[in-house]
Amino acid sequence: GRASIYTSPEHAISDINPLIYGGFTEHMGRCIYGGIYDPDNEHGLIDETGLRTDVMNCFKELDVPVVRYPGGNFVATYRWQDGVGPKDKRPKRPELAWLGVETNQFGTDEFMQWCDKIGALPYLSLNMGTGTLEDALAWLEYCNSDKDTYYANMRRANGRDEPYNVKYWALGNEMWGPWQVEQHTKEDYAKKACQWAKALKLLDPSITLILCGQNGHSDWDRYVLQQCIKWTDMHSIHMYTSDFPKQEHYANAVAPRAAERAIEITASLIDFARCDIDMSPFPDEISTKARSKHKPTICFDEWNIWDPVRAPGNTGAEQIYNLSDMLAMAAWLNVFVRQAKYIGMATVAQSVNVISPLITTERGIIKQTTYWPLLLFSKYMRGKSLAVHVCSAAYNGRTCPEFLASTVELPLLDLSAALSDDGYMNLAVVNIHETESTEVALPEVNGPVQVFTVGGNINQIQDVNVEGSEKVYIRQSNWDGNSDKFTFEKHSFTLLRWKTQVTGANKT
């Protein structure tokens, strides 16, 4: 088929925050134990502290800038105090999110050391389920205080003199969810979140607080933003796409467009809350009224493709991703680049073993199909997000989540564009079409083009990467840029790069 696309290095929309390539590691399944930390590994895959070196190398290759921890649902009963100090003194506890036993052999200091080794910033979520404000303040003091006080001294006694200066702190996780220990109503949550935020910022005004939103298009999101806007630096939303139980390719691969709509709606709710100055039930000194230029961004701190039938949460959620999922992954990342002006951070859920692009075995690591778009985006889709337009064959069937279904036709050619600071145009193109390649004229191209292709003619839509058989990988080639049209192979993700005269550095 034929299609046309438009983009220009002159038409920058906004900076792309590098934090959109963040990760998430939860005490769930084999994410921490057996994933990040594997002290009993007999194949020499660990360093002197029991951390998996192959996993750390992948995080470095992906250049992951920030990692959320320790949950997720796990955090709702987590006592951070259990996970610090001598390991033989750490208590084992029943774990109520995934119904296991938490040994606490990996805790705050181990996570900080791991972040340091991979060069990522830590992002901690607070227990607003069974945890108290006192616990939260104590954790913040343990991590960030340079004073001569109890928890700062506990950190020193545990071997760390300098504060960790953790910048990102989440006010709970999915507090609206019926599966949550201490599920909250939106009214209860908003009231508590403002009070916690005020106290946390008294202790450390430099922190960035992330409010617990829902999916970005709910009444919970509207209400908590209206009540807490003053204390909110970022608003967190979560969404998982897939097409369960049918597993149809098109519904699966276009589904990330639902996230794009959710981002647009969340951005509107943030603006709405900023404008709304009359609804706070609190006295003035703790009121939520936002009369300033204060403008929270969106923290999309759980996103991915997750089919709960293929990968149930209570059995560790190890999903094997096929080529269709790889295309969905690239489509998700296109959403973040296109919507860069609203996104302050995004952390893929999750980063190791649990619904993850990486699977560890005793013997090594498997890079799943979805690893490759993540790597190409993180390497090249940086700098400025550029306006894009596309005209191509479209899909107008069922989607999952469904709320998008009847709204628009969804193009089967999905793209985003970035102008990097070194003056390269980077075009990320997903050809979702299962059976047809698509020819496109690229008028902006002048000169040689680097081409990276994942999937395409050499693959089937159901192909997966498993131990001993990795069918999906990056193919690299060059295109002279002179021929009339570029052909995007069927069911492929392609990243094109070429040098322009415009540099990202001098555009706003």
Choices 44-52, 71-79, 81-89, 490-498 (CB under 6 A): range interacting with ligand AHR: 71-79
26 binds ligand AHR (CB under 6 A): yes
243 binds ligand AHR (CB under 6 A): no
211 binds ligand AHR (CB under 6 A): no
Annotated active-site residue in 95, 102, 302, 489: 302
Residue with smallest beta-carbon separation from ligand AHR: 72
Among 23, 29, 70, 72, binds ligand AHR (CB under 6 A): 72
Convert 174-239 into a string of H (helix), E (strand) and C (coil): CCCCCCCCCCCCHHHHHHHHHHHHHHHHHHCCCCEEEEECCCCCCHHHHHHHHHHHHHCCEEEEEE
What are the helix and strand counts (H, E) for the chain? 10, 25
Least CB distance to ligand AHR at residue 21 (A): 17
Among 215, 236, 334, 350, binds ligand AHR (CB under 6 A): 350
71 binds ligand AHR (CB under 6 A): yes
Closer to ligand AHR by Cβ: residue 317 or 388: 317
Q: Residue 54's CB: how many other CB atoms inside 10 A? A: 17
Choices 67-75, 99-107, 189-197, 286-294 (CB under 6 A): range interacting with ligand AHR: 67-75
Closer to ligand AHR by Cβ: residue 151 or 303: 303
Least CB distance to ligand AHR at residue 68 (A): 10
**Sign of the alpha-carbon dihedral angle for 160, 50, 18, 447:** positive
166 binds ligand AHR (CB under 6 A): no
319 binds ligand AHR (CB under 6 A): no
CA distance 197 to 205: 10
Among 95, 110, 141, 174, binds ligand AHR (CB under 6 A): 174
Specify which residues 125 forms β-bridges with: 170
Residue 282-311 contact track with ligand AHR, rule CB under 6 A, x = bound: --------------------x---------
The structure tokens 């005209």 sit at 391
CA distance 320 to 374: 16
Determine contact, residues 302/258, Cβ cutoff 8 Å.
no
Choices 15-23, 45-53, 65-73, 275-283 (CB under 6 A): range interacting with ligand AHR: 65-73
Residues 87-146 that bind ligand AHR (CB under 6 A): none
The number of residues that bind ligand AHR (CB under 6 A) is: 10
DSSP string across 454-506: EESTT--TT-BEETTEE---EEEEEE-S-SSEEEEPTTEEEEEEEE-SS-GGG
Closer to ligand AHR by Cβ: residue 71 or 216: 71
Residue 369-408 contact track with ligand AHR, rule CB under 6 A, x = bound: ----------------------------------------
CA distance 220 to 291: 22
Residue 362 falls in the annotated catalytic set? no
CA distance 233 to 307: 31
Annotated active-site residue in 174, 318, 436, 467: 174
Residue 302 falls in the annotated catalytic set? yes
Determine contact, residues 45/119, Cβ cutoff 8 Å.
no
First-residue to last-residue Cα distance in the chain: 36
236 binds ligand AHR (CB under 6 A): no
Instruction: Extract the tokens encoding 192.
Output: 């508590």
Decide the pairing of beta strands 23-24 and 66-69: parallel
Closer to ligand AHR by Cβ: residue 22 or 71: 71
Site for ligand AHR, rule CB under 6 A: 26, 28, 71-73, 173-174, 302, 349-350
Residues catalogued as catalytic: 174, 302
